[in-house]
């Protein structure tokens, strides 16, 4: 039989105080979330860029961090503009092509083997393909950009709220610069703030949080980006419309394991709509798309995840959705940032300090009873 510690008055009072402090901390963060959000986003971006800063320091043999920080930011801005220069025209061409297919599908008869005509009638009845097609044209994209710029300018001249909103993004950028420049000093400062008698346990928690953050943000984000690129390339090879948009969307879904399975629905619908051109049959395009899924998933599971992340985060997808919902409700966008790393850490500590000690005690009791 397991021996449990008695809940005397002193232990009960300390437990109640800790619970009150935890609730107060959650309330304080929730109250200040609008102020803390730019800082947290800045910390997250600086954390993601830190390996590139260290790489530039080693590559260029730089002693300080200031020059390496600005070189890294310049590289990221250049890469972003380069991607926009090449990708945006391709996406607009794909959207225009898809708009034409949607209009054709909405007005034409389509017979696909093993797919009943009632299914097409259901889609045409409940989905306004003409409206979607009108939003995918090049003229609509240009009009949206022009309206957005003109509306933004008129609102900027008349509304202080949008100015504050834009200012918050400037603050995020400033946070990123200052945190990246003094990243090592800030980390050392946090360590010095901890009282000496608590440093062992706090530093252990800090190392575990860092490992969890490395797995989720750096590792999973890199895997998701590579997966999105691979899907985009695969869809371009087989000639699937909206290949880049769909591929990068699947990569974004991959931030939560197994969530990319949702993309099977839009992929199937795109295959149906694209078959109206008559150049390729639905089933051929569909099975080619499924082959892309199989190949990319095999590359991800057999190579990318073991090499980049190592031991995958052992969380059930249902727990991932639950943790995102709970922390997102409590802390908003900040909660979404810390949800999976913190939940993984709590589960690991629960297993280490509660489950395993009880199992070891039970094993000792069983051995003693046998002796």
Span 329-368, pLDDT tens digits: 776 666 776 777 777 767 766 766 677 777 777 777 777 7
Best mean pLDDT range from 19-28, 30-39, 282-291, 353-362: 282-291
CA–CA separation, 364 and 356 (whole Å): 12
For residue 159, the model assigns a pLDDT of 42
287 pLDDT band (50/70/90 cuts)? very high
For residue 202, the model assigns a pLDDT of 65
Give me the sign of the Cα torsion angle 227, 233, 237, 243. Answer: positive
CA–CA separation, 171 and 75 (whole Å): 20
Neighbouring C-alpha atoms within 13 Å toward the C-beta of 52: 16
Cβ contact 98:132 at 8 Å = no
For residue 158, the model assigns a pLDDT of 42
Lowest mean pLDDT among 35-49, 105-119, 198-212: 198-212
CA–CA separation, 175 and 183 (whole Å): 11
């Amino acid at each position: 039989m397991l021996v449990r510690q008695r809940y005397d008055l002193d232990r009960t009072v300390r437990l109640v105080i800790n619970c009150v402090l935890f609730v107060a901390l959650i309330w304080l963060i929730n109250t200040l979330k609008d102020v803390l959000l730019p800082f947290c986003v800045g910390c997250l971006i600086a954390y993601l860029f830190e390996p590139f800063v260290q790489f530039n320091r080693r590559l260029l043999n730089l002693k300080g961090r200031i020059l390496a920080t600005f070189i890294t930011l310049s590289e990221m801005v250049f890469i972003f503009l380069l991607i926009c220069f090449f990708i945006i025209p391709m996406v607009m061409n794909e959207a225009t092509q898809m708009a034409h297919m949607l209009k054709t599908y909405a007005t034409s008869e389509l017979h696909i083997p093993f797919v009943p005509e009632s299914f097409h009638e259901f889609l045409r009845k409940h989905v306004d393909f003409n409206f979607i097609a009108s939003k995918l044209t090049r003229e609509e994209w240009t009009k949206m950009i022009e309206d957005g710029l003109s509306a933004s300018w008129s609102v900027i001249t008349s509304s202080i709220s949008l100015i504050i909103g834009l200012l918050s993004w400037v603050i995020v950028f400033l946070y990123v610069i200052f945190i990246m420049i003094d990243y090592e000093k800030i980390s050392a400062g946090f360590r010095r703030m901890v009282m000496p008698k608590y440093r062992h346990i706090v530093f252990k928690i800090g190392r575990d949080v860092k490992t969890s953050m490395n797995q989720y943000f750096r590792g999973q984000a890199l895997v998701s980006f590579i997966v999105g690129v691979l899907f985009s390339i695969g869809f371009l090879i087989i000639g699937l419309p909206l290949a880049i948009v769909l591929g990068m969307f699947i990569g974004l879904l991959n931030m939560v394991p197994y969530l990319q399975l949702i993309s099977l629905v839009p992929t199937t619908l795109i295959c149906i709509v694209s078959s109206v051109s008559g150049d390729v049959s639905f089933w051929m395009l569909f099975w080619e798309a499924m082959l892309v899924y199989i190949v990319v998933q095999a590359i991800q599971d057999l190579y990318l995840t073991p090499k980049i992340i190592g031991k995958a985060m052992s969380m059930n997808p249902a727990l991932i959705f639950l943790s995102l919902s709970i922390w997102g409700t409590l802390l908003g966008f900040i909660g979404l940032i810390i949800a999976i790393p913190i939940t993984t850490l709590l589960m690991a500590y629960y297993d280490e300090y509660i489950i395993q000690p009880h199992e070891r005690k039970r094993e000792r009791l069983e051995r003693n009873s046998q002796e």
